[in-house]
Structure formats: structure tokens, C-alpha cells
Amino acid sequence: MRLKKAEREQVRLKYGGHCAYCGVLLGDRWHADHLAPVVRELLSKQTVAGTWKLVSGKPLRPEHDVLENMMPACAPCNISKGGQTLEGWRTWIAGHVNSLNSYHPIYRLAKSYGLIAETGAPVVFHFEKVSP
């Protein structure tokens, strides 16, 4: 859905100008994210140069493509979330600690020097801590 300027401002102010997920203060470049994913069909389109690229098509869940389902998000959060459900994304984020421990020696080193303390705390999003 293409938001009008007033609707976009309404979404931005939903959590006081903060990202609904991490809580960072939003700057000029932020995203309006679908809390419940819309998921769009992917279409192949041939470019003028003759190559093919994937483009986004119609929403597969049009009932989610409404203003009430929009959340203000910083670019890193929206890109990370992608088309995942909120609970799927929460699980995905929490699972990264295992990945960091298994595959990233610099993370393990930083942890051994006390620079990182794993808490095992659940992933709680900003909008769950504050009320709009």
C-alpha cells in the first residue's frame, strides 16, 4: 500500500518517532513495516538489456495491507524482519547467539574478555514495552 504523507506521519508517530522494534529514534530515512507480513508474489521481468530480474507483485495477504498493520521501523530492523512473522523473527534473532558462538571467533574472543555478556533474556520489542 502506498501511504499518503499524513498517513506516513501517523505511522512514524505511533511510538513517538521511535522504531517499533528496537526503539531507536527514527531519522529522515525510515520504513513503514507490515507487522503481520503481506508477502508479495515474485514476478520475473525482462529488462531493456535483456536480463531478467525479480519484481514484487500483488500481495498474497491483502488483508494485512492496511494502515492499522503498519509499524514505524528503522531500516536495519525492517530489512532483518523481511517477510517473517513477529514470532518467527523473534526466534530468528534469539537463535543468532548460538550462531555467533559457533561460527564467529571474534565474538567468542570479545566474550572471553568480558566485552559481551550473554543474558539469555527473551527478545522483547520496543512496542511491547511502551504503549502507543
The pLDDT tens digits for 40-83 are 777 777 777 878 776 677 777 878 889 999 999 999 999 999 99
Range of the domain at 72: 5-130
Cβ atoms of 44 and 52 closer than 8 Å: yes
Residue 12 has pLDDT above 90, yes or no: yes
pLDDT class of 122 with cuts at 50, 70, 90: very high
Supply the pTM of this predicted model: 0.82
**Strand locations in the chain (E):** 31-34, 40-46, 52-59, 70-73
Residue 132 has pLDDT above 60, yes or no: no
Higher pLDDT, 47 or 124: 124
Q: pLDDT > 70: what percent of the chain?
A: 97
Number of H helices, E strands in the chain: 5, 4
Residue 31 has pLDDT above 60, yes or no: yes
- Total domain count, the chain: 1
The per-residue pLDDT for 123 is 96
DSSP 120: -
The pLDDT tens digits for 99-116 are 999 999 999 999 999 999
Distance CA 132, CA 126 (A): 10
